[in-house]
Amino acid sequence: MASEASMHATSAQQTSEAQQKGILLDARNLVRTFGGLRAVDDCSFTVTRGTITGLIGPNGAGKSTMANLITGFTRAESGSVLFDGTDIARLPAYRIAQKGLTRTFQITRELERMTVIENLLAAPHNQLGESFWLGLFSPPAVRRQEEEHLHHALKLLRDFDLYALRDEYAGNLSGGQRRLLELARVVMTQPKLLLLDEPFAGVNPVLATRLGHYIEGLRQEQGITFLIIEHNLSIVERLCSTVIVMALGRTIAEGTMAQLRENPLVVDAYLGEA
């Protein structure tokens, strides 16, 4: 009992410290192994509320595994993940998303047989129309919420230059258009933190610039915090105020890109990849 009380006290202290520092996400001492491979090895870092933070590192550094641990797609063997003051390390992915921590993937996952507008309307959490009893006894409330979602979805499609494609099947979109649709769809969930896994991969320079503007606009106008895993370091430098570097499953450095260029650990990690 004393040990359990001590653990609760420690957790409460960690939560209080994180909130005082404006930390939205606090991943501590996460470990995940696959067979004999320690993909994430006692890895820790934080993300401050209202920022765009980059997560970089050579191939095999453990970045995507870390993303899966944070968002509940993979269970950590040890460690904790505090999000907005709550430990989410043992929650399933859908519960974590409901709390406001949402993600995209390296390969887009749009609903191909639904239209662009339908993809967005299917995204919000806790839709009243999903309840049989609310639909039966409170149809005006259901209709009001559906109208609000439709208004929000159409605005996002205009903002993301997808309005003309609103009735097109998502499976017919180009690769770049799918990237924009995926971002618009997760914004429909009204996230507090958006984790983007290589959002600029395979995107042409013009669209990459637009995508960067959209991300910065969402941070400024809607207060969304971003954690971006990305290999394009010029984009990371342009967008991210803080950059975290992983190598061999651990965090090895943190700072601005200018500071990281002077860090021998970071130079060695990338030279080793080359």
CA distance 201 to 107: 9
Mean pLDDT by 10 residues, the chain (274 residues): 48 53 93 92 96 95 95 95 94 93 81 89 67 53 77 89 92 89 90 94 86 93 95 93 95 94 89 52
Q: DSSP letters along the chain, please? A: -HHHHHHHHHHHHHHHHHHHTTEEEEEEEEEEEETTEEEEEEEEEEEETT-EEEEE-STTSSHHHHHHHHHTSS--SEEEEEETTEE-TTS-HHHHHHTTEEE--SS----TTSBHHHHHHT-SSS-GGG-HHHHHH-HHHHHHHHHHHHHHHHHHHHHTT-GGGTTSBGGGS-HHHHHHHHHHHHHTT--SEEEEESTTTT--HHHHHHHHHHHHHHHHHH--EEEEE-S-HHHHHHH-SEEEEEETTEEEEEE-HHHHHT-HHHHHHHHHH-
CA 11/CA 102 separation, integer angstroms? 23
Q: Where are the domains of the chain?
A: 21-110+189-274, 112-172
Spatial distance between the Cα atoms of 154 and 148, rounded to a whole number of angstroms: 10
Q: What are phi and psi of 162, to 5 degrees?
A: -115, 5
Q: How many CB atoms lie within 10 A of CB 68?
A: 21
21-110+189-274: CATH class: alpha beta
User: Measured between alpha carbons, how far is 46 from 259 in angstroms, rounded to an integer?
Assistant: 18
CA 256 from centre of chain: 20
Task: Report d(CA 239, CA 219) in Å as an integer.
Answer: 11
pLDDT at position 110, please? 80
Instruction: Evaluate if pTM is beyond 0.75.
Output: yes
Residue 203: per-residue pLDDT: 82
Say how far apart CA 68 and CA 65 lie, in whole Å. Answer: 5
**Which residue from 189, 226, 191 is spatially nearest to 211, judged by alpha carbons?**
226
Query: In terms of Cα–Cα distance, which of 115, 102, 127, 121 is closest to 218?
Result: 102
Residue 24: the pLDDT is 97
